Structure formats: structure tokens, C-alpha cells
Amino acid sequence: MGPDWRQSGIRCYHAVMMTQVTHLPALQRLGHKVLVWFGSWWQIVLFGVLVLTLALSPSTYSRAGRSAIAREIVRATALNLMWFTVLSSLISVVLIRIVVVTALSYGLSRFAIEMVVRVLVLELIPLTAALFVALRCTLPDSAEIGQMRAQGALDALRCQGIDPIRQEFLPRVLAGVFSVWMLGAVSCLLTLVLAYLAIYGFTPWALESYTRVVGQVFNPAVTLILVLKILFFSLAVSFIPMASAYYDDVSAILHHRTDLATGLAGMVRLFAVVLVIEVASLMGNYY
């Protein structure tokens, strides 16, 4: 009994030690991944601080700087505003009709306006504007910056004494922020007009009751949440792709990834942040 007991104890001890040795590399890999994850977000924070510092610096807005920023803003906003306005108008008309018919069928016609405003203006339009700008503007811009880095254009600017962040990154970041603001504001106003026309028609006599209901929806807390949501959407859409393009070489080395995988990782990171902002706004509005 004694020797068997000691032998079984020794076997259990060796089994535990082998398990610990086997799991040790896995724990090391997990710790490395966590550190790299925090490092990638820290890089985005550093890039954001650097860009905001340049944006608040008067020397940025020299004649050449103003021209570059204005050119990028017009490029990012003009065509996107036209296409997004048409797209959001078509979607808004369809959704407004669905909400109004559903409310009438359940005898909730007095809540139709409030549902339209909450579903479209507060939730869908800002989210759609941010994703539209990301797919049409900031993500392609980050890919273009990555190509410039690969071709050595950014290093050439440094050799000429030109800051690449001030010359190439800052105008695109400001253009993305402004584009989200403009698309969100114009589309929200247009949706309110379309909602009035779809519910009341071309008559001015219901304007007082309509503005009263809209004003009740847009109380100070809801208005503040909407403004903050659009602001954070614009910052996320503009900063994250540009930061990923700025640190793409470092990220590829740390993650042992190709350029395509690094770009996809930046896209996933952007969509995750947008989702977190949307969930936070929903909690603020309805909890």
C-alpha cells in the first residue's frame, strides 16, 4: 500500500509539472498579445494627441496649409454629400412609410413621429454617415498613405524638411471629421423634412404640432448624446485609419502580418469602436 501510494503521488506530481510547463508558452503568448493590443491602442492615442496639437497650432494654417486642408475637405465632402443625401433620402422615405403604416395598424399613430425621429435621426443616420465616410474616404486614404510609405514618399518629405503628418495626415483627418459632421447634419435635417411631408403632406398647418413633438424628443440630454455621438464617430472614423497607416510598419512587425492583414485589422478596430460608441449612446438614451 505504501509504495503504491508514493508512486501514484510521484506520477501526479510529474503530471502537474508537465501541465505547467506545457501551459507556460501559451501564457507567454497570451501576455505578449495583450501587451501588443494595448500598444496598438496607445499608438492611436499618441497619434490623436499629435494631430490635435497640430490642428490647434496657428503655424499649421499657413497659406499652403489652408490650401491643402481646404482641398481635402472639398474632395471628401462634395461628392460624398451628394451621394449620401440621395441614399439617405431613399432609405428614409422607405423606413418612414414602414413606421407610419405599422403605427397606424396598431392604433399608435400619435407615436409615429417620435418613432421616426428616434429610429432615423438619433440612431441610423449618424451611424450610416460615419460608416459611409469610412468606406468612401478615410479607409481609402489610409491605403493611399500606406502606398506612399511603401514607395518612400514619406521619407522623401522628411529629407526635404517637411513633416509628413502636417502635410499628408492632418488634412485627411480634418476632412474626415468635417465630412461626418456635414453628412450627419444635412441628412438629419432632410429626414425631418421628409418625415413631415410623408405624414402631413404639403400643408403648413401641422408644423406647430410637428415641431412640438420633435422638440419633446430632442430634450437637452438626448441632444447632448447625439452631438457627442457624431463627434466621437467623426474622431474614430478619421483617427483610427490614419493612425493605422502611420504605424503600419510597426504593427506588421509586432503581429508578423502582411500589409493586407494589417489593413484588415485596422478596419476591424474601427468598426469595433463605432459599435462601442453606438451601444453607449443607446444606453444613454434608453436606460
Who contacts 266 (Cβ-Cβ below 8 Å, separation ≥6)?
A: 142, 240, 241, 244, 245, 251
Give per-residue pLDDT as tens, 188-217.
Answer: 999 999 999 988 888 888 888 889 988 888
Give per-residue pLDDT as tens, 163-194.
Answer: 888 888 999 999 999 999 999 999 999 999 99
Of 148-152, 176-180, 237-241, where does mean pLDDT reach its minimum?
Answer: 148-152
Largest CA distance in the chain: 99
Least Cα distance to 175 among 285, 69, 28, 35 occurs for: 69
> Grid coordinates in use for 233?
464617430
Output phi, psi for 256, to 5 deg.
Answer: 55, 45
Quote the pLDDT of residue 262: 54
Quote the pLDDT of residue 261: 54
Quote the pLDDT of residue 280: 93
SS3 content of the chain, % helix, strand, coil (to 5): 90, 0, 10
Quote the pLDDT of residue 260: 54
Taken in order 79, 82, 86, 88, is the CA torsion positive or negative?
Answer: positive
Average pLDDT score, the chain: 81
Whose cell is 490650401? That residue is 67
> Grid coordinates in use for 129?
454617415
Dist. CA 71–CA 254, nearest whole Å: 35
Dist. CA 168–CA 73, nearest whole Å: 13
> Grid coordinates in use for 279?
451601444
Quote the pLDDT of residue 254: 42
Dist. CA 205–CA 280, nearest whole Å: 38
Report CA 255 to chain centroid distance, whole Å.
23
Give per-residue pLDDT as tens, 67-122.
Answer: 989 999 998 888 788 889 998 899 999 999 898 888 888 877 778 888 888 888 88
Tell me: pLDDT of 236 over 90. yes
Give the angle 230-175-127 at the CA atoms, nearest 5°.
25
Mean pLDDT, residues 131-151: 87
198 near 100, Cβ under 8 Å? yes
Quote the pLDDT of residue 24: 47
119 near 156, Cβ under 8 Å? no
> Grid coordinates in use for 249?
510598419
Dist. CA 89–CA 189, nearest whole Å: 11
Quote the pLDDT of residue 32: 65
Q: 236 or 103: which carries more pLDDT confidence?
A: 236
Using the 8-state DSSP alphabet, how is residue 161 labeled? Answer: T
| Confidence tier at 25 by pLDDT (50, 70, 90) | low
Determine the 3-state secondary structure of 92 from DSSP. helix
Quote the pLDDT of residue 35: 76
H or E stretch at 277: helix 259-286
185 near 227, Cβ under 8 Å? no
